[in-house]
Amino acid sequence: MDDLFERRIAACQRRLADMGADLAVCFPSPNLTYLTGFAESPSERHLLLFVPQRGDPALVAPSMYGDRLSELPISDLEVRLWSDVDDPLEVVRNVLDGYSLGESEPATVLVDDRMWATFTQDLQDRLPAAEFGLASAVLEPLRVRKDEIELAALRRAGKIADRVALEIRGRGNDLIGTTEADLASDIDRLLAAGGGLEPAFETIVAAGPNGARPHHHPGSREIEAGDPIVLDFGAFVAADLEAGTGLYPGDQTRTIVVGEPSAEYERVHEIVREAQQAAIDAVQPGATAGTVDRAARSVIEDAGYGDAFVHRTGHGVGLEVHEPPYIVDGNDRELEPGMVCSVEPGIYLEGKFGVRIEDLVAVTEDGAERLNDTPRGWETGG
């Protein structure tokens, strides 16, 4: 495991060679974390990872990070620290000069998709003849297939979400009178108590007609008997790494009812459940992302609710909650073993209710593995 990040950097360099690109430059982002195990928020200070097609990688960073960077398990990573009294551009220039870029022909430099314009401009000023592109061209194909360490973390995140889902469902009538906001806070507390480091996104609790808004923000509405309640939540967990870091999220949605639902709700819920199952059945190596979306969407359209399914069927999950592959109609990206994505069809009826059912699934050699395993029906109570 000690050489995990060295293997990832080497894979990045091989892809650079395959593409004929000379250099990838990463900014504080999931790409930087993926390649080094170092996670930090962007700031106005120059913190840049340089991965050349040939030669050793270099990390330019403020000196305040020296202790943390000295612990990174990458033997051939050259760390260039600068203090607030130094000119970081001089350090950047020295790194670039060491790679001898563009000596025979214009260099091709791929910058992090998240890189702030000011840092991209610094690179363009130093390499005015270079051709610039996006680092996702080399890193997305690497990050999209999760290794066993990543899959293990995603499975743990799924189990944490499962336990919380069962706890909330089991409360039954005790949920009546609770506000959306209070229940969301309680879910966050349970996720933390179960081992989650922090919520992976703002927890969604949407009761009654609020469920017709796919990304509703929990508010002061109290849960009433007969309310459909959309619950969408998950927490980050840390990958099992000896050094470095990597946080991976859970993401599960269930729509439950306290008491007896309307006949229309029961019908719609069953349609969504069938659509989700159809999509998961379609997940297998070689199937396209668009085919999976179409499997879910066809069930909903055939039932007469096509206009009420207002979002894609799912998205990839990894170091980011939303990342490729996107499970959307027309996406010809073929699924591969190791990819992980959400499958979350929904029907949203304005002024009435919404229904969404979501699980994370990992693409296996011959199908799909659900990373969530709790009831998908609407029933509550012990």
d(CA 133, CA 185): 42
**How much is the pLDDT for 102?**
75
pLDDT of 297 reads 98
Q: What is the CATH number of the domain that holds 98?
A: 3.40.350.10
Strand partners, 369: 362
Tokens, residue 326? 């996107």
- Nearest Cα to Cα of residue 251 among 185, 212, 204: 204
Q: Could you tell me the sign of the dihedral formed by the alpha carbons of 344, 347, 353, 355, in that order?
A: negative
Report in angstroms the alpha-carbon separations of 80 from 48, 92, 266, 276, 367.
10, 9, 61, 50, 45
pLDDT at 71: 83
Residue after which a domain boundary falls, among 113, 143, 173? 143
The whole-number average pLDDT for the span 339-353 is 98
Q: What's the pLDDT at 233? A: 98
On whether residue 380 sits in a domain, the answer given is no
Q: Please give the average per-residue pLDDT across 193-216, as a whole number.
A: 97
Specify the pLDDT at position 72: 85
The pLDDT value recorded for residue 192 is: 98
pTM summary value = 0.95
Q: Which helix (H) or strand (E) segment is 300 a member of?
A: helix 289-302
**Percentage, residues of the chain above pLDDT 70:** 99
Residue identified by tokens 């997305």 is 140
pLDDT of residue 241: 87
Confidence of residue 318 (pLDDT cuts 50, 70, 90): very high
pLDDT at 344: 98
At 1, the pLDDT band (50, 70, 90 cuts) reads very low
**Would residue 211 count as lying in a domain?**
yes
Query: What residues make up the domain containing 39?
Result: 4-143
The last residue of one of the domains, among 102, 118, 143, is 143
Q: How confident is the model at residue 330 (pLDDT cuts 50, 70, 90)?
A: very high
Q: For all residues of the chain together, what is the average pLDDT? A: 95
Total of domains in the chain: 2
Q: What are phi and psi of 219, to 5 degrees?
A: -130, -150
Same domain, 352 and 224: yes
pLDDT of 243 = 79
Assess whether pLDDT exceeds 70 at residue 14. yes
pLDDT at 36 over 70: yes
Tokens of 170: 């089991």
Number of H helices, E strands in the chain: 10, 19
Q: Which of 108, 143, 178 is the last residue of a domain?
A: 143
Do 232 and 330 belong to one domain?
yes
Instruction: For residues 38-55, give the mean pLDDT.
Output: 95
What is the mean pLDDT of the segment spanning 140-152? 97
> Is the CA virtual torsion 103, 108, 112, 114 positive or negative?
positive
